[in-house]
């Protein structure tokens, strides 16, 4: 085959083109490669062991006024190659002006869609065995506090999981005991003994040192407010913190220079605290000064659990009990309804699970979701609210909603129009010495019973007041639920969800 001159030229041109393309692609690869050098080590590279020493981690600071670069510089002065990681929810703006050294890094927790997941995970950047959580405005001095903290921590190895060095400030660091019960949606802070250095929570500013692998094995290691979040998680794991005789000074006190900035910071702190308790499912907080705070569940909010299927509310599947605010609302509704029944001359008695709770511990069963009362059918006309409820639901002057239930011949009083926590009123009438009714629910306890249990009715302590119960209520309850029901608590539908053993009330 002969090749013409034109064909020869073409072949040479194609070859040159290919060479150029190859060269360009090599160049691009090299550029990409160089770009990667500015990114943190990739996941398999970082799996290497942690190095000895401490990384300082700064998590809480305000974009609009902070001293983070000064904090970092003061620590780097103590120890020039000290790694520092600044963790922010989003890129701080205006820029902070951190010292530009490879050992100082900023982590943005908000994932960027063009970056691998590990770039937004702080554990990728903390490569030392220990980490010190440093508040904004802390000044390290030449006495190498961090090294001493580490020595003290190692000396108390196995006894505590964290050590804390107070920041000298207007408010002395407080040592607290924190008890969190997720089951009861509650966190309870109490002051530790005055001279105690062993705490389960701290209040105030401190540098906190712990093992890196402990910090990043928490559920949410760096949620804000950092100390609140941290101690909730560590107290649930039984960890303690020791307050050391080492302290740090502050750049100035108070940290923020204007009352406007302080106001902004306070509002942000309040919002993140609210979000944290919401995320952790904590609805009731008892503070160290005895004050009580409630999160969620009010007359204006919806009931904080959904429609109940098979007698088993969703919180039981989450291994939790009735939210405390719901119990409080149920108690309030029960007391209110019972008062109205008594005033209007409607004979009533605690029924079913409600009576069971009263017999067991004078209160609503901690995982119950409503209150049941029996009433005499013939007494209904005595109560104007019940009479009116016949012809449609009505909201009374206190905001409670009275209505005839759609599921059958009984009445329901709801906590409010928004919040459908309720007391059910079951009308019974006597027939041949037994109490009976026309609507039956598919429940073991929903059966006829001899009228003598109601003659007379007897007072019983319930939910903080005196209510009326059938006489001989132990046999009444055993007739309805079976023998030993008072002593052997069980969830409403044990076939679906059993109570764990050793899980006392």
Kindly report the backbone phi and psi dihedral angles of residue 455, in degrees, each rounded to the nearest multiple of 5, phi listed first: -125, 95
Number of Cβ within 10 Å of residue 191's Cβ equals 15
Question: Which residues 110-139 are close enough to bind ligand NAG by CB under 6 A?
Answer: none
Q: What is the closest distance, in whole angstroms, from the C-beta atom of residue 212 to ligand NAG in the complex?
A: 11
* CA distances to 123, 372, 494 from 367, in Å: 39, 14, 13
Angle at Cα 6 formed by Cα 4 and Cα 12, nearest 5°? 105
Q: What is the CA radius of gyration of the chain?
A: 33
Buried b (16+ CB within 10 A) or exposed e, 50-75: beebbbbbbbbbbbebbbbeebbbbb
Query: What's the length of the chain?
Result: 505
Q: What does the alpha-carbon distance between residue 363 and residue 356 come to, in Å, rounded to a whole number?
A: 9
> For ligand NAG, what does the binding mask look like between residues 154 and 193, x meaning CB under 6 A?
----------------------------------------
Three-state DSSP class for residue 131 = strand
Q: What is the closest distance, in whole angstroms, from the C-beta atom of residue 209 to ligand NAG in the complex?
A: 17
Sign for the CA dihedral angle at 365, 371, 376, 382 comes to positive
Q: What is the closest distance, in whole angstroms, from the C-beta atom of residue 49 to ligand NAG in the complex?
A: 13
| Pick from 162, 149, 193: nearest CA to 175 | 193
Q: What is the closest distance, in whole angstroms, from the C-beta atom of residue 218 to ligand NAG in the complex?
A: 8
In the bound complex, which residue of the shown chain has the CB atom lying closest to ligand NAG? 217
Q: What is the closest distance, in whole angstroms, from the C-beta atom of residue 219 to ligand NAG in the complex?
A: 8
Q: What does the alpha-carbon distance between residue 142 and residue 164 come to, in Å, rounded to a whole number?
A: 19
Nearer Cβ to ligand NAG (237/309): 237
Q: What is the closest distance, in whole angstroms, from the C-beta atom of residue 214 to ligand NAG in the complex?
A: 6
Nearer Cβ to ligand NAG (45/217): 217
Nearer Cβ to ligand NAG (237/252): 237
CB 308 within 8 A of CB 317: no
Q: How many residues bind ligand NAG (CB under 6 A)?
A: 3
Nearer Cβ to ligand NAG (220/466): 220
Nearer Cβ to ligand NAG (47/170): 47
Nearer Cβ to ligand NAG (26/237): 237
Partners of residue 130 on adjacent β-strands: 54, 211
Kindly report the backbone phi and psi dihedral angles of residue 436, in degrees, each rounded to the nearest multiple of 5, phi listed first: -135, 175
Nearer Cβ to ligand NAG (217/301): 217
CB 152 within 8 A of CB 197: no
Torsion of CA 348, 351, 357, 361, to 10 degrees: 40
Q: What is the closest distance, in whole angstroms, from the C-beta atom of residue 237 to ligand NAG in the complex?
A: 6
220 contributes a contact to ligand NAG by CB under 6 A: no
Pair of tokens at residue 169: 């400030």
Residue-by-residue DSSP string for 340-406: HHHHHT--EEE-HHHHHHHHHHSS--TT---EEEEEEGGGGGG-HHHHHHTTS-EE-TTS-EEEE-S
> For ligand NAG, what does the binding mask look like between residues 235 and 254, x meaning CB under 6 A?
--x-----------------
Nearer Cβ to ligand NAG (7/217): 217
Q: What is the closest distance, in whole angstroms, from the C-beta atom of residue 221 to ligand NAG in the complex?
A: 11
β-pairing verdict for 348-350 and 284-286: unpaired
Q: What is the closest distance, in whole angstroms, from the C-beta atom of residue 213 to ligand NAG in the complex?
A: 5
Question: Which residues 462-501 are close enough to bind ligand NAG by CB under 6 A?
Answer: none
Q: What is the closest distance, in whole angstroms, from the C-beta atom of residue 217 to ligand NAG in the complex?
A: 4
Nearer Cβ to ligand NAG (36/237): 237
Q: What is the closest distance, in whole angstroms, from the C-beta atom of residue 52 to ligand NAG in the complex?
A: 18
Three-state DSSP class for residue 59 = coil
Nearer Cβ to ligand NAG (71/180): 180
213 contributes a contact to ligand NAG by CB under 6 A: yes
Kindly report the backbone phi and psi dihedral angles of residue 334, in degrees, each rounded to the nearest multiple of 5, phi listed first: -60, -45
β-pairing verdict for 284-286 and 162-166: unpaired
Q: What is the closest distance, in whole angstroms, from the C-beta atom of residue 58 to ligand NAG in the complex?
A: 24
Q: What is the closest distance, in whole angstroms, from the C-beta atom of residue 200 to ligand NAG in the complex?
A: 16
339 contributes a contact to ligand NAG by CB under 6 A: no
217 contributes a contact to ligand NAG by CB under 6 A: yes
Nearer Cβ to ligand NAG (217/253): 217
Nearer Cβ to ligand NAG (51/213): 213
Nearer Cβ to ligand NAG (213/260): 213
Number of Cβ within 10 Å of residue 446's Cβ equals 15
* CA distances to 170, 201, 299, 478 from 279, in Å: 31, 19, 21, 41
Residue 316 falls in which region: left (phi positive, over 0), alpha (psi -120 to 50) or beta: alpha
List residues binding ligand NAG (CB under 6 A). 213, 217, 237
């Amino acid at each position: 085959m002969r090749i013409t001159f034109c064909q020869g030229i073409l072949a040479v041109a194609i070859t040159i083109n290919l060479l150029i393309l190859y060269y360009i692609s090599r160049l691009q690869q090299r550029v990409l490669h160089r770009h990667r050098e500015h990114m943190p080590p990739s996941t398999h590279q970082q799996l290497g062991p942690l190095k000895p020493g401490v990384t300082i981690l700064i998590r809480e600071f305000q974009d609009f006024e902070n001293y983070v670069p000064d904090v970092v510089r003061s620590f780097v002065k103590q120890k020039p190659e000290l790694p520092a990681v600044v963790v922010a929810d989003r890129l701080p703006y205006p820029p902070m002006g951190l010292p530009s050294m490879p050992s100082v890094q900023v982590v943005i927790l908000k994932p960027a869609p063009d970056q691998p997941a590990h770039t937004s995970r702080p554990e990728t950047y903390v490569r030392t065995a220990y980490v010190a959580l440093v508040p904004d405005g802390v000044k390290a001095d030449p006495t190498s506090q961090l090294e001493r903290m580490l020595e003290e921590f190692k000396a108390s190895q196995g006894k505590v999981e964290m050590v804390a060095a107070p920041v000298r400030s207007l408010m002395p660091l407080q040592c607290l005991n924190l008890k969190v019960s997720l089951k009861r949606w509650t966190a309870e802070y109490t002051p530790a003994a005055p001279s105690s250095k062993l705490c389960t929570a701290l209040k105030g500013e401190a540098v906190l040192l712990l093992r890196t692998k402990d910090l990043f094995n928490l559920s949410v290691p760096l949620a804000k407010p950092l100390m609140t979040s941290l101690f909730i998680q560590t107290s649930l794991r039984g960890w303690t913190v020791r307050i050391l005789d080492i302290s740090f000074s502050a750049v100035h006190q108070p940290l923020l220079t204007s009352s406007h900035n302080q106001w902004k910071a306070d509002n942000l702190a309040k919002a993140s605290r609210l979000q944290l308790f919401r995320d952790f499912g904590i609805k009731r907080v008892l503070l160290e000064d005895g004050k009580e705070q409630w999160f969620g569940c009010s007359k204006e909010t919806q009931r904080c659990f959904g429609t109940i299927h098979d007698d088993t509310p969703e919180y039981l599947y989450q291994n939790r009990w009735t939210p405390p605010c719901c119990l409080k609302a149920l108690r309030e509704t029960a007391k209110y309804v019972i008062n109205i029944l008594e005033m209007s001359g409607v004979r009533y008695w605690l029924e079913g699970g409600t009576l069971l709770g009263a017999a067991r511990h004078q209160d609503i069963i901690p995982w119950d979701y409503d209150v049941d009362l029996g009433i005499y059918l013939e007494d209904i006309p005595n109560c104007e609210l019940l009479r009116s409820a016949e012809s449609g639901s009505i909201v009374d002057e206190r905001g409670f909603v009275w209505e005839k239930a759609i599921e059958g011949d009984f009445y329901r009083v709801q906590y409010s129009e928004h919040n459908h926590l309720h007391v059910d009123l079951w009308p019974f009438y006597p027939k041949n010495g037994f109490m009976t009714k026309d609507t039956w629910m598919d429940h073991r306890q929903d059966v006829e019973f001899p009228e003598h249990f109601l003659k007379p009715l007897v007072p019983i302590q319930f939910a903080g007041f005196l209510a009326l119960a059938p006489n001989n209520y132990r046999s009444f309850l055993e007739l309805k639920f079976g023998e030993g029901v008072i002593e052997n608590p069980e969830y409403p539908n044990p076939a679906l969800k059993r109570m764990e053993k050793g899980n006392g009330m």
